[in-house]
Amino acid sequence: RLRELDLSDCGGLDDLAVVLERSELREQLRVLRAGASYGVGTALDAAHLSRALAPTRLVELSVPGCFLSADDVRRLLASDCCRELT
């Protein structure tokens, strides 16, 4: 059972959404931490990630250093996967 995925301090998150879309375990995921140390940074496609995580109900989302714009953050927070975030 996969409840938590911690990819903190991992670069190269370009394929994260693709991997999650293909995973049979994504519906079980409750915590996602992905990103790089502050100052290092990595690109993350928020639109693709929100679609990939649509069946997921996250209770924690952490994406430091992922170069997200305000629109990206709004898109993620408004997506189905983030409905249970408090």
> What tokens appear for 53 in the block?
């995580």
Q: Which residue has the higher pLDDT, 27 or 10?
A: 27
Question: Average pLDDT in the 9-19 region?
Answer: 82
pLDDT at 39: 58
pLDDT at 40: 64
| pLDDT tens digits for range 22-69 | 998 899 999 999 887 665 667 788 999 999 999 999 999 998 888 889
Tokens 């994504």 identify what position?
26
User: Residue 11 pLDDT > 90, yes or no?
Assistant: no
The amino acid present at 56, given as its one-letter code, is: T
Reported in sequence order, the residue ranges of the chain that DSSP labels E, i.e. its strands, are 4-7, 31-34, 60-62
Q: Which residue has the higher pLDDT, 13 or 59?
A: 59
Instruction: Please state the φ and ψ torsions of residue 48, each to the nearest 5 degrees.
Output: -65, -40
Name the CA dihedral angle for 70, 73, 78, 79, rounded to a multiple of 10 degrees.
140
pLDDT at 48: 93
